[in-house]
Amino acid sequence: MKRPEFIARLVVGAAVLGAIAVPLILWWRTPLVHAQMAEDGGWNPDALKAAVGVPLQLRITSDDVVHGFAVGKLDIPAVDIVPGKVTNITLLFQDPGTYTFFCTRWCGLNHWRMRGTIEVVGDVAAANPPHERSRPLYTTLGIDLDAPRSAPLTPAEKPVAALEAQQFKDELAGYMSVVYYRSRSPYEVWRELRADPASAARGDSELWNMTASIWRSNTTPQAVAEGEQLFAQNCAACHAEGGAGDGVFADDLAAAGQASLQSMMGDSQMVMQSPARLTDARRMLAASPALLQGKILRGGMGTGMPSWGPIFTEEQTWNLVAYLYSFQFEYR
């Protein structure tokens, strides 16, 4: 072979090999976390590892639409993940455990299932003693989350707490504790008030107002406001901002039905249900805060309602519960 031909072949070979190898090597050396709509796979990878005190640097990109990234129970703001762009995020964990990262944008029908985990290993920092793991109240109370409930009696008008709170202060002294409030449904409280000689003379609507006052006394306007924000970000797509269960995804979920769930979970037993109507007084007045806590933490177990246990802190959950009752009570 003549020398020019040899050199030409060498150049061609180098160019071809370079055009193949260089992108491959660079791609291999730059691992990305890919975000896709849950129907197309969700996060990839969806299981990450980290160590306590060691910054975890993530390079996240979206392969389809705008997603959001946040880590449950970690006090960091959500970050938008833009299609085709790479977003750099650094996380620092103080405690070992399993954290859930999730999408914070309504990216698709199964947005709620777009989650992954970060397994954090290492020692617990001295400054951050492990929180005593307490069982959620609904498990302590042994509440059957799936049992049908319906208040046999509902108020004619939306009970008002704010205006009447002072008026009932003395009468309600025995009803104000957090434990009492969280473990009873509004209807149960109303029934106990009706049976209480101290308030037996009051009319039905007054007793409902007193019940609303008990609910109000166990929260704050700030807590309800935070609950409202959480609801708008995470719940309103299905349950609707007004709580009527007809959010923008409700129809799509109903149309996609079982197939949508099964495509995600591979479980043929799941049955898609319409989002609960939080404005339904019979349903909500029969639900205790502990029951709602359980529904939120555990989710709907195959009904379409996701589990929020790994996402919300305990405080956030109670704030959200407090907000849910605002669909029944005027207490802000």
Partner 1 sequence: MSRLELTAHGGVKALLKNRYPQLALLVLMLAGYIFAIMAGLIGSPVGSSNFSIVFVWIAWWAALILVAVPVLGRGWCSVCPIPLPGEWLQRGAVLGPNSHTPRWRGIRWPRPLRNIWLQSAAFLLLALFSTILLTSPLVTAIVLAGMLLAAIGLSMAFERRSFCRYLCPVGGFIGLYSQAAPIELRIKNKSVCTECIGKPCYNGSAEGYGCPWDVFPGGLTKNTYCGLCMECIRTCPHDNIAINLRPFGADLEQPAGRLDEAFKSFVMLGSAMIYSAVLLGPWGVLKDAAYRIGSSSWFMYAMAFVAFICILLPGLFALCAAPGGGVRTFRLRFSRMSAALIPLGLTAWIAFSLSFVLTNASYTLVSLSDPLSLGWNLLGTADIAWQPVLTAGLGPAQTLVLAGGVLWSSRVAHRAAAGSRISPVPAMAYCAGAALLLMWLLL
Q: Which residues bind partner 1 (CB under 8 A)?
A: 2, 4-5, 8-9, 11-12, 15-16, 18-20, 23-24, 26-27, 30, 32, 59, 61-64, 83-86, 88
Give dist(CA 117, CA 97) in Å, integer: 10
Give the residue with the Cβ less far from partner 1, 46 or 330: 46
Distance between alpha carbon 229 and the CA centroid of its chain, in Å? 12
Task: Identify whether 45 is preceded by a cis peptide bond (ω within 30 of 0).
Answer: yes
79-81 sheet: strands from edge to edge = 47-51, 115-121, 97-102, 67-71, 79-81
The least CB distance from residue 82 to partner 1, in Å, is 9
The least CB distance from residue 81 to partner 1, in Å, is 11
